Structure 1
Amino acid sequence: MIRRPLKQVRGVLRLPLLLLIWGVFAIAMWIPAVHAVIVDDHQTSQSFFYSGIVGLTLVAFVGLSVSNRVPRYGMPGQLMTLLATFVLLPLYLAIPLQDALRNTSYLNAYFDMVSALTTTGADIFDRPGRVPDSVHLWRVLVAWLGGMFMWIAASAVLAPLSLGGFEVTTRAEPGRSDAILRESQRPDPRRKLIIVTRALAPVYAGLTLALALLLMLCGESGLVAVSHAMSIMATSGLSPIGGIQDAQAGLAGEMIMFLFLLFALSRLTFSSDTVAVGHGRLDKDPEFRSGILIILGVPMLLFLRHWLASLEVNASDDWGMALTSLWGAIFTVASFLTTNGFESAYWFSAQEWSGLETPGMILLGLAVMGGGVATTAGGVKLLRVYALYLNGLREMERLVLPSSVSGEGRGNRRLQSNGAFVAWIFFMLFALSLTLISVALSAFGIPFEQAMILAVAGLSTTGPLVEAAGQVPIELNLLDAPAKLILCFAMVLGRLETLAIIALLSPNLWRN
């Protein structure tokens, strides 16, 4: 009796991966449907409930039609599934969203779902009161599932292919690895994917639950606490109240969220199965140390600027304001470095204290650097920045002593040479993508400054930049349809990264 259910479960797991992901999101639609019933919003409940039924029905029909096929899974197919998930799945996820709101277009709904699924968090619905609470729950839930999806895909798909930042430390070429051959020799290459899911999904869910409970203990309401907890873990920056400035948790809540933002600095904060550069200790991890240095260094520079630029600003000695401004800068810097995008309630005090009217360039630079490899953060990634830093130090040393030998350890020497070369290639591809997207947006009448902010927000998956980086917030719902589609492309490209797209076009990958 026990073998039959196990056999059925194994049969379900052998279905196409995109079909399984589709089914998971179809079931997830019933969560906002139940919430809508509880808050007596039956129209919204019907939209999500019936959309979930339709989605599961399609999954069942397609699953039955392919159940007799002998599946042949491989790493290229899984990488293609990642691309199809971010492009095609939002077409289905936007249906209940558009039906529940009724006052928005399908393109806006699709844009919002792409933004949520890629954990970008670019809020096209600029007024929080416009969207019902159940719809807010759906948006943060999609972003949370998208973050967990990337956690799992980083270890099970990108790491074996030497992509997603792992190409900096590996000896193989990006998109090629000996692991491809080993995976192809197994009867089911998705076995690793299942193992990684079983290992990481409980950790991801447990951390989110712990953060939500801590926020509620600080006085936050249930929906806001859950939404902010999901947004912090997924680094999406979505909030049902438009940010954490008006949150009831206050300073204690910000401090708790700051601690959980550190999980996006390095994979070693939650797992050691994919060590970046040979170090299994967090205090020796270059990503974590670089992230902490930036989080403490940038706010300190802003703090000291109060006296360094005392001729331009009012050099007040209010130490209460000084401490609150320092904290506001620390939290906001950590938030944008991890591509979350939450602004501290004391960020305005930090701007007044430092005398910077529009610190948009600082936020843009932090978002471009991004967080750690194999986390939910986007951007260039701290490991690539560290590799370029080591290479720069080595080149300056060779200018003085051309015949010198690097004194770095074995792992760092590899970062200085091959790792830095691959990191530089990725940085150039990132800059080229940024240029092309900015030019494409400018072609549709968007001013250059706004086009640059939108391009960085999309490629770094830091949606809140559209409101925080410029002098005037950018209203996404006023953009033309082609501009919205370009931003959708930028968000997908920023989530998967350019090297992964190039790897999909490589004949060697499919030949292996």
Structure 2
Amino acid sequence: MPRRPRSQVRGILRLPLLLLIWGIFAIAMWIPAIHAVLVDDHQTSQSFFYSGIVGLTFVTFIALSVANRVPRYGMPGQLMTLLATFVFLPLYLAIPLQDALQNTSYLNAYFDMVSSLTTTGADVYDQPGRVPQSVHLWRALVAWMGGMFMWIAASAVLAPLSLGGFEVTTRAEPGRSDAILRENQRPDPRRKLILVTKALAPVYIGLTLALAVLLVLCGETGLVAVSHAMSIMATSGVSPVGGIGAAQAGVAGEMVMLLFLLFALSRLTFSSDTVAVGHGRLDKDPEFRTGMLIIIGVPTLLFLRHWIASLEVNTSDDLMMGLASFWGALFTVTSFLTTTGFESAYWFSAQEWSGLETPGMILLGLAVMGGGVATTAGGVKLLRVYALYLNGLREMERLVLPSSVSGEGRGNRRLQSNGAFVAWIFFMLFALSLALICVALSAFGVPFEQAMILAVAGLSTTGPLIEAAGQFPIELGLMEAPVKLILCFAMVLGRLETLAIIALLSPNLWRN
């Protein structure tokens, strides 16, 4: 009798991965349902409660129909599951959202759920007061679960296939367990996925709870603190108050959030299992060092531009304004580099101090570079940027000394010999995808500047760029249906990356 529950758990874990994910999100719908009851919003509560029951019912019926089937698990199948999750799961997640709002179309609800699940955070509802509090919680929760899903998937699925940035590294494969490697050199993908989930999920949940508690101690309200904590850890930028500028935590809350944003710069901030060779120290990690160089360098240049450009500001000798502008630039640069997209409450002071009326190009460039490999951040990723930087140094050295022979060098032992070549291929694919999406958006009447911002926001999973990068915010709700579908495609492509989509089309991957 004591072994029966364990056998039932094993039977559940043998179900198709997409079915398990569907069931988890169906259960998660009861969280906003309970919250809606507590705030006396029974109509919203019914939407999420009954949608969760319907979802679990379908999951149960499908599970019973495939219970006797012997599953065959492989990495290509799990990669296909990732794609199916981002494309088809939002079709179900949008049902309670549309029913709760009642004054929105199903396409807008689907777009919002794709944006949340891919941790993009592009807000199709530009007025936070229009959306009930429980719906805000649902959007932040979906983005948070999508971030944890990518944390786990990057370690258990993308890394063994040398995708997601790991194609640049030197045989680093996160989530490896010595017990599994002793048992089998090529472990069962499903078993590997379970072990990675057990290792990473408690860390992700614990960091989110710690950040939420710290924000509450800084004076933030409960719902906003929880939503912002989930958004910071998922780098989604979803906010129930339209951004942290309207939050109550103030500078103390921004300082706390800045510390947790650093987890999106490198995987070594929360795990050391990517270190195959070389140093395992954080200060020796090329991703973290590159990220910190950008985070410190860009605000410093914006701060010094005040005197370089000889700006005439009435408060030029005000030390407090100078410090406020530097902090606003520091937080905002970190936020957009990690593809979160939160603007500091002092970002306007930073623009006024530096004299940059439209700093959109800086924000676009930061979002394109992105955060660390195997984190929730999007973009090209810092490790690929670092590989291209090393290759540039080597090419300049060869211009001076054509017969020189380059060794491993310092700090690049995590990179394989052709890492720069692979990084350049990905960068070209990213640029090609950006151009194609811009052309597609322009074909439906979107101006070029807006098309560029929308394309970068989708491919880098940095939705707040839509409001912050241009001279005026772009209203997604007024866009045509084809434009929204193209943006959905861009967000899924940016989340999974182009190399993963190409790998799914490779016959050799499925054959092996």
Q: By the TM > 0.5 criterion, same fold? A: yes
Deviation at 1:408, TM superposition (A): 4.1
Q: Which residue of 1 aligns with 2:274?
A: 274
The residue type equivalent to 1:509 in the other structure is L
Query: What is the CA deviation profile of residues 2-35 of structure 1, one whole-angstrom value per residue up to 9, with x for unaligned ones?
Result: 2000000000000000000000000000000000
Q: Which residue of 1 aligns with 2:455?
A: 455
Deviation at 1:274, TM superposition (A): 1.9
The residue type equivalent to 2:318 in the other structure is D
Question: Cα distance 1:423–1:403, how it changes in 2: closer, same or farther (>3 A)?
Answer: same
Runs (5+) with no aligned partner, structure 2: 173-179
Q: Which residue of 2 aligns with 1:333?
A: 333
Query: What is the CA deviation profile of residues 436-466 of structure 1, one whole-angstrom value per residue up to 9, with x for unaligned ones?
Result: 0000000000000000000000000000000
Alpha-carbon distance in 1 for matches of 2:60, 2:313? 65
Deviation at 1:279, TM superposition (A): 2.6
1:470 aligns with 2:470: yes
After TM superposition, the structure 1 = structure 2 runs for residues 19-38 of structure 1, keeping only pairs within 5 Å, are 19-38=19-38
Contact 1:337 1:369 in 2 (8 A): yes
Q: Which residue of 1 aligns with 2:197?
A: 197
Alpha-carbon distance in 2 for matches of 1:166, 1:491? 21
Q: Which residue of 1 aligns with 2:48?
A: 48
- Identify the range of structure 1 (411-420 vs 386-395) with the bigger mean alpha-carbon deviation: 411-420
The residue type equivalent to 1:123 in the other structure is D
Contact 1:118 1:146 in 2 (8 A): yes
Alpha-carbon distance in 2 for matches of 1:470, 1:410? 40
Contact 2:370 2:382 in 1 (8 A): yes
1:299 aligns with 2:295: no
Partner secondary structure for residue 240 of structure 1: coil
Q: Which residue of 1 aligns with 2:230?
A: 230
After TM superposition, the structure 1 = structure 2 runs for residues 339-378 of structure 1, keeping only pairs within 5 Å, are 339-378=339-378
Q: Which residue of 2 aligns with 1:98?
A: 98
Alpha-carbon distance in 1 for matches of 2:354, 2:50? 52
Contact 1:128 1:242 in 2 (8 A): yes
Deviation at 1:412, TM superposition (A): 2.3
Alpha-carbon distance in 1 for matches of 2:508, 2:464? 39
The residue type equivalent to 1:322 in the other structure is G
Contact 1:80 1:504 in 2 (8 A): yes
After TM superposition, the structure 1 = structure 2 runs for residues 213-292 of structure 1, keeping only pairs within 5 Å, are 213-275=213-275, 278-292=278-292
Alpha-carbon distance in 1 for matches of 2:484, 2:311? 44
Partner secondary structure for residue 245 of structure 1: helix
The residue type equivalent to 1:440 in the other structure is A
Under a length normalisation based on structure 2, what TM-score does the superposition of the two structures give?
Answer: 0.96
Deviation at 1:280, TM superposition (A): 1.0
Q: Which residue of 2 aligns with 1:81?
A: 81
Deviation at 1:258, TM superposition (A): 0.1
Deviation at 1:171, TM superposition (A): 6.1
Query: What is the CA deviation profile of residues 344-376 of structure 1, one whole-angstrom value per residue up to 9, with x for unaligned ones?
Result: 000000000000000000000000000000000
The residue type equivalent to 1:42 in the other structure is H
Deviation at 1:413, TM superposition (A): 6.7
After TM superposition, the structure 1 = structure 2 runs for residues 202-213 of structure 1, keeping only pairs within 5 Å, are 202-213=202-213
Alpha-carbon distance in 2 for matches of 1:469, 1:311? 23
Contact 1:391 1:416 in 2 (8 A): no
- Identify the range of structure 1 (276-285 vs 406-415) with the bigger mean alpha-carbon deviation: 406-415
Question: Cα distance 1:184–1:493, how it changes in 2: closer, same or farther (>3 A)?
Answer: farther
The residue type equivalent to 2:334 in the other structure is A
Q: Which residue of 1 aligns with 2:319?
A: 319
Query: What is the CA deviation profile of residues 320-350 of structure 1, one whole-angstrom value per residue up to 9, with x for unaligned ones?
Result: 1000000000000000000000000000000
Partner secondary structure for residue 412 of structure 1: coil
Q: Which residue of 2 aligns with 1:485?
A: 485
After TM superposition, the structure 1 = structure 2 runs for residues 87-236 of structure 1, keeping only pairs within 5 Å, are 87-170=87-170, 186=187, 188-236=188-236
Query: What is the CA deviation profile of residues 395-441 of structure 1, one whole-angstrom value per residue up to 9, with x for unaligned ones?
Result: 00000001112254387278484000000000000000000000000
Query: What is the CA deviation profile of residues 225-256 of structure 1, one whole-angstrom value per residue up to 9, with x for unaligned ones?
Result: 00000000000000000000011110000000
Alpha-carbon distance in 2 for matches of 1:390, 1:273? 24
Q: Which residue of 2 aligns with 1:386?
A: 386
Deviation at 1:314, TM superposition (A): 6.1
Q: Which residue of 2 aligns with 1:496?
A: 496
How many residue pairs align between the two structures?
A: 504
Partner secondary structure for residue 390 of structure 1: helix
Deviation at 1:313, TM superposition (A): 5.9
Alpha-carbon distance in 1 for matches of 2:253, 2:383? 29
The residue type equivalent to 2:27 in the other structure is I
Alpha-carbon distance in 2 for matches of 1:33, 1:24? 15
Question: Cα distance 1:124–1:168, how it changes in 2: closer, same or farther (>3 A)?
Answer: same
Partner secondary structure for residue 241 of structure 1: coil
* Sequence identity (%): 87
After TM superposition, the structure 1 = structure 2 runs for residues 57-72 of structure 1, keeping only pairs within 5 Å, are 57-72=57-72
Partner secondary structure for residue 341 of structure 1: coil
Alpha-carbon distance in 1 for matches of 2:227, 2:75? 33
Contact 1:122 1:464 in 2 (8 A): yes
Alpha-carbon distance in 2 for matches of 1:360, 1:18? 38
The residue type equivalent to 1:473 in the other structure is P
Partner secondary structure for residue 190 of structure 1: helix
Question: Cα distance 1:278–1:511, how it changes in 2: closer, same or farther (>3 A)?
Answer: farther
Under a length normalisation based on structure 1, what TM-score does the superposition of the two structures give?
Answer: 0.96
Query: What is the CA deviation profile of residues 105-125 of structure 1, one whole-angstrom value per residue up to 9, with x for unaligned ones?
Result: 000000000000000000000
Alpha-carbon distance in 1 for matches of 2:359, 2:339? 16
Question: Cα distance 1:458–1:113, how it changes in 2: closer, same or farther (>3 A)?
Answer: same
Alpha-carbon distance in 1 for matches of 2:271, 2:105? 41
Contact 2:171 2:276 in 1 (8 A): no
The residue type equivalent to 1:340 in the other structure is T
Alpha-carbon distance in 2 for matches of 1:368, 1:278? 28
Query: What is the CA deviation profile of residues 463-484 of structure 1, one whole-angstrom value per residue up to 9, with x for unaligned ones?
Result: 0000000000000000000000
Alpha-carbon distance in 2 for matches of 1:18, 1:311? 57
Contact 2:86 2:117 in 1 (8 A): yes
The residue type equivalent to 1:477 in the other structure is G
Q: Which residue of 2 aligns with 1:418?
A: 418
Contact 1:370 1:377 in 2 (8 A): yes
Q: What RMSD over aligned residues (CA atoms) do the two structures have, in Å?
A: 1.8
Partner secondary structure for residue 212 of structure 1: helix
Contact 1:325 1:351 in 2 (8 A): yes
